[in-house]
Structure 1
Amino acid sequence: MRIALVASLAWQDYRADVRLSACTVLALVAVIAPLLVLFGLKFGLISSLTQRLERDPAVREVIPMGGGRFGAEFVDQLAQRPDVAFALPRTRQIAATADLALLAQGQVVNVEMIPTAVGDPLLGDLSPPTEPDHVLLSRTAAEKLGAKAGDWLDATFTRQVAGRPQAQRTRLQITGVLELEAFGRDALFAPMTLLEAVEDYRDGRAVNAFGWPGDVGAANAPRVFPAFRLYARSLDDVEPLRLYFASQQLSVATQAQTIAQVKSLSRNLSLVFWIIAALAVLGAVAAVLAGALATVERKRRELSVLRLLGFSTGALLLFVVLQALYSASLATAASFALYALAERGLNHLFMQVPGEYASYLLPAHYCVALLAIFAASGLAAALGGWRVARIEASEGIRNV
Structure 2
Amino acid sequence: MRAALIMTLAWQDFRDEWRLSLCAVLALVAVIAPLLLLFGLKFGLIGRLTERLQQDPATREIIPLAGGRFSAADIAALAARPDVAFALPRTRQIAATADLLDPQGKTLPVEMIPTGAGDPLLGSIAAPAGLTDVLLSQTTAQKLGVHAGQAVDALITRQDAGQVQVRRLTLLVKAVLPISAFQRDAIFAPLALLEAAEDYRDGRAAPALGWPGSAAGNARVYPAFRLYARDLAAVEPLRQFFARQGLVVATQASAIEQVQALSQRLSTVFWLIAGLACAGAFAAIAAGTLAAVERKRRALSVLRLLGLRTGALLGFVLAQALYSALLAALLAALLYGLGASLLNHLFDQLASHLLPAHLAVALLAIVLVSLLAATAGGWRVTRLQAAQGIRDV
TM-score bracket for this pair, using the shorter chain length: over 0.9
> Which residue is equivalent to 1:221?
218
1:293-312 residue pairs with structure 2 within 5 A? 293-312=290-309
Q: Distance in 1 between matches of 2:142 and 2:341?
A: 38
2:147–2:175 CA contact under 8 A, matched in 1: yes
> Which residue is equivalent to 2:155?
156
Report the alpha carbon displacement of residue 257 of structure 1 after superposing the two structures with TM.
Answer: 1.2
> Which residue is equivalent to 1:71?
71
Report the alpha carbon displacement of residue 167 of structure 1 after superposing the two structures with TM.
Answer: 0.4
Q: Distance in 2 between matches of 1:160 and 1:69?
A: 25
> Which residue is equivalent to 1:132?
131
Gaps of 5+ in 2: none
Q: Distance in 2 between matches of 1:389 and 1:107?
A: 95
SS at match of 1:270: helix
> Which residue is equivalent to 1:249?
246
Q: Describe the superposition over 1:206-244 as per-residue Cα deviations: whole angstroms up to 9, x where unpaired.
A: 1122121222x3x24321111000111010101100111
Q: 1:326 aligns with which of 302, 323, 329?
A: 323
Q: Describe the superposition over 1:39-91 as per-residue Cα deviations: whole angstroms up to 9, x where unpaired.
A: 11111110011000000011111111121111111111111111111110000
Report the alpha carbon displacement of residue 146 of structure 1 after superposing the two structures with TM.
Answer: 1.3
> Which residue is equivalent to 2:141?
142
> Which residue is equivalent to 2:347?
350
Q: Distance in 2 between matches of 1:329 and 1:210?
A: 75
2:134–2:188 CA contact under 8 A, matched in 1: yes
SS at match of 1:209: helix
Report the alpha carbon displacement of residue 144 of structure 1 after superposing the two structures with TM.
Answer: 1.1
Q: 2:286 aligns with which of 281, 285, 289?
A: 289
Gaps of 5+ in 1: none
Q: Describe the superposition over 1:240-265 as per-residue Cα deviations: whole angstroms up to 9, x where unpaired.
A: 00111111111111111111111111
> Which residue is equivalent to 1:31?
31
Q: Distance in 1 between matches of 2:246 and 2:86?
A: 21
> Which residue is equivalent to 2:15?
15
SS at match of 2:170: strand
1:71-110 residue pairs with structure 2 within 5 A? 71-102=71-102, 104-110=103-109
Q: 1:264 aligns with which of 261, 274, 277?
A: 261
Report the alpha carbon displacement of residue 114 of structure 1 after superposing the two structures with TM.
Answer: 0.4
Regions of 4+ moved over 4 Å: none
> Which residue is equivalent to 1:389?
382
Q: Does 1:374 align with 2:372?
A: no
Q: Describe the superposition over 1:77-129 as per-residue Cα deviations: whole angstroms up to 9, x where unpaired.
A: 11111111111000011110111135x54343211000011111000001101
2:66–2:247 CA contact under 8 A, matched in 1: no
Q: Describe the superposition over 1:126-165 as per-residue Cα deviations: whole angstroms up to 9, x where unpaired.
A: 1101110111111111111111110111111111111111
Q: Describe the superposition over 1:362-389 as per-residue Cα deviations: whole angstroms up to 9, x where unpaired.
A: 1110000000000000111011111111
Q: Distance in 1 between matches of 2:380 and 2:125?
A: 71
SS at match of 2:129: coil
> Which residue is equivalent to 1:240?
237
> Which residue is equivalent to 1:168?
167
2:141–2:176 CA contact under 8 A, matched in 1: yes
* AA at the equivalent of 1:221: N
Task: Kindly tell me the number of residue pairs found equivalent between the two proteins.
Answer: 393
Q: Distance in 1 between matches of 2:120 and 2:335?
A: 41
Q: Distance in 1 between matches of 2:232 and 2:115?
A: 21
